[in-house]
Chains A and B, each alone.
Chain A
Amino acid sequence: MSALLKTVNLERTFGAVTAATDINVELNTGEVVGVIGSNGAGKTTFINMVTGYIQPSGGDILVRGKSIIGKSPRDVSLAGVGRSFQVPQLFQELTVLENMLIAFGFSVDRKLSFLKPLRSKEKVEKALSVLREYEIEQYAEEVVSTLPQGVRKLLDIAMAMLAEPGLMLLDEPTSGVAIEDKFLLMDTVMAAVRKSDAATMFVEHDMEVVLRYADRVLAFYDGRVLADGPTQTVLSDAKVQELVVGHHLDLSENEASTSKESAHVRT
């Protein structure tokens, strides 16, 4: 059976600058992968290529064995790839509920109805139940632009998850969120994601978040995948700590459980 996501020698250049090169990654259903790397390492470029936001300069991207090269974000989304954004992409002047109802209309109903009211009782109930799941139901009638970043992040993810994507890409889900709220946000998101059986890939700078939620880590450095393997193994690798994390990580507590696992560290 073909992998959910497979990239083959993926490459992206911007003029003389190589933002990503030689990226070969496979991802299967149910996996939760943390993507780490310093600024400019190629993480977001990778996410943007996989979601059709930018097109690769070379290589191939296969979703369930089918190439998505040349496809628009809409087509990629319809192929089962969802994404959230570093800066939440929402309809700022509409309410949370209206955002959800629009998302429902396009992701679930998929019919551009002309006369059926958007706010039907049944749809509102459904939208509220999803908001409840993400613990933001109390903001349903608030205009998005007035809400704190954490709520916007959750709404951004909730809207993307409505289509029940097979692969969900979260671009820095905790950035701009207060430290004390990071784990709460991730707990909520991961609970929803695990319920759906989607494979999840999240870009993250906070190693505590990566350690806690990722089963596997992709470490990017200089536009390449420096390491790909189980979380503990990748994060305990000296090269990853030096070039990607930037400081020593004490993972001794978890060492015993991961000593048998091996990461493919490219040097």
Chain B
Amino acid sequence: MKTRSLALLFVLGLVVIAGGLLLPQWMSYLFTIAMGKGLVVLGLVLLMRAGLVSFGQGLYYCVGAYVAGMLTQFVGVTDILVIMLASVAVSVAIAAIIGLLLCRYREIFFAMFSMAFSMILYGLLVRNQFLGSTDGFNVANPSLLGWTPGAEASSDLVLIVAVCLVIVLGAVAWRYLKSLSGYAGEAVRENEIRLEYLGGSVFRVVYVKYIIAAALAAIGGTITALVSGHVDPEMAYWTTSGEFVFIALMGGTAHVAAPIVAAVLFEALRTYAFAVSPYTWQMILGFALLAIILFMPSGLWSLVERFQNKKARKTS
């Protein structure tokens, strides 16, 4: 990545953090949640670019959140960086095992199998009294390198870390999509046979993407747990995974920024839909999704592409 792009990203990060900190508490909370969900959807988008739709990212989202919760409540570890690393490590270990089976399937079978695994976790958590059953349990405030902020500042800390992670991981994902491994996803989606005859391992390509997506989902879950101060089994429920698919469709798969932007818009839309119509807010979300599918089948990012194409035509 060029120095100019890095500088731009750094400035963007500062602006977003400053903006986030200046927002009212409830808005900065939603913004942090959106950052977390954006990372989960970024992983989902990596899979979707390989032609795989996972209805089970809630599994890793929930694992990340529960690892964060358990470390803070039961082990006494509150350092946000240690928590992040632990969440990723546990999720990657689980994905490495489940992926051995899952990555052999495609289309609806992949979608349903992935959902089945997240529902198994949901079932286990619901029956586990120690982990609070359906109520879940609270998560203690995080710290950073020995500094423990107060209750209010702790959500600011999570916001700053979340924005930094989104920018760093977004840049890495962007770079990744430009590499052979990134393109290999599109190759898998378009023609597995050709890839195999070129000497590529389709399984390996999908497996690696699945693990990356799990790691991103775990980070997203950790951010959500730390900012909300609570975890519950709903995080593994299929509607949570469906929400991630919703956001992915909303943003499109054309750019790594699309899931993040879509996650922010989704949280805003849901909040306002709930405020306007507390009993039928899902219907408003449904209409929004319908409109996007009908008028922007490639997602909201297609608007940016249209604008870029127009600009390019004018220049030429």
Chain A residues in 8 Å Cβ range of B197: 51, 73-74, 77, 82-83, 89, 160
Query: A115 is contacted by which of B179, B193, B196 (Cβ under 8 Å)?
Result: B179
- State whether the Cβ of B190 lies closer than 8 Å to any Cβ in chain A: yes
Binds B, one of A10-18, A31-39, A101-109: A101-109
Q: How large is the interface on B (under 10, 10 to 19, 20 to 34, 35 or more residues)?
A: 20 to 34
Q: Which residues of A contact B199 (CB under 8 A)?
A: 74, 77-78, 106-107, 110, 163
A102-127 interface mask toward B, CB cutoff 8 Å, 1 = contact, 0 = none?
11011101111111111100000000
B194 / chain A contacts, CB cutoff of 8 Å: 89-91, 159
- Per CB-CB distance, the 9 closest pairs between chain A and chain B, nearest first, are A105-B180, A106-B200, A106-B198, A89-B194, A91-B190, A73-B196, A74-B196, A114-B181, A77-B199
A94 touches B186 (CB 8 A): yes
Residues of A contacting B: mostly: loop
Any A CB within 8 A of the CB of B205: yes
B126 to chain A, nearest CB (A): 38
Interface residues of B in 173-199 (CB under 8 A from A): 175-176, 178-184, 186-187, 190-191, 193-199
B168 within 8 A of A: no
Task: Contact check, B179 vs A77: say whether CB atoms are below 8 A apart.
Answer: no
Bound-complex Cα distance A94 to B187 (A): 9
| Cβ-based interface call for B309 (8 A) | no
How far apart are the CA atoms of A131 and B275 in the complex, in Å?
A: 59
Q: Is the CB of B180 within 8 A of A116?
A: yes
Give the nearest-CB partner of A104 in chain B. B180
On chain A, the residues within 8 Å of B196 by CB distance are 72-74, 77
The range of chain A's interface size is 35 or more
Q: A74-B201, A110-B199 are in contact. Are A117 and B178 (CB under 8 A)?
A: yes
Question: Which partner residue on chain A sits nearest B172 by CB separation?
Answer: A115
Q: Let me know if B204 is at the binding interface, CB within 8 A.
A: yes
Q: List 28 A-B contacts (CB under 8 A).
A: A72-B196, A73-B196, A74-B200, A77-B197, A90-B190, A90-B194, A92-B190, A92-B191, A93-B186, A94-B187, A94-B190, A98-B183, A102-B180, A102-B195, A105-B183, A106-B184, A106-B195, A109-B180, A112-B200, A113-B180, A113-B181, A114-B182, A115-B176, A117-B175, A118-B178, A118-B180, A118-B183, A160-B198
A91→B191 contact, CB < 8 A: yes
The tally of CB-CB contacts under 8 A between chains A and B is 98
Bound complex: CA A90 to CA B191 (Å): 7
A89 contact set on B, CB distance < 8 A? 191, 193-194, 197
Q: Bound state CA distance, A53 and B190, in angstroms?
A: 18
Bound CA span A225–B190, Å: 35
Residues of B within 8 A of A (CB): 172, 175-176, 178-184, 186-187, 190-191, 193-201, 204-205, 208
CA distance A73 to B205 in the complex (A): 16
Complex-state Cα separation, A21 to B172, whole angstroms: 53
Q: When the two chains form their complex, are residues A91 and B198 in contact, meaning their CB atoms are under 8 A apart?
A: no
Residues of chain A within 8 A (CB-CB) of B172 are 115
In the complex, the answer to whether A102 meets B181 with C-beta atoms within 8 Å is no
- In the assembled complex, the Cα of A162 lies from the Cα of B197 at a distance in Å of 11
Q: B184: which of A51, A109, A112 is its contact (CB, 8 Å)?
A: A112
Residues on the A chain within 8 Å of B198, using CB: 77, 102-103, 106-107, 159-160, 162-163
| CB closest chain-A residue, reference B195 | A106
CA distance A161 to B75 in the complex (A): 58
For window 119-146 of A, CB contacts with B under 8 Å fall at 119
B103: shortest Cβ distance to chain A, in Å? 14
Within 8 A of B (CB), among A142-186: 159-160, 162-163
CB distance from A97 to the nearest CB of B (A): 11
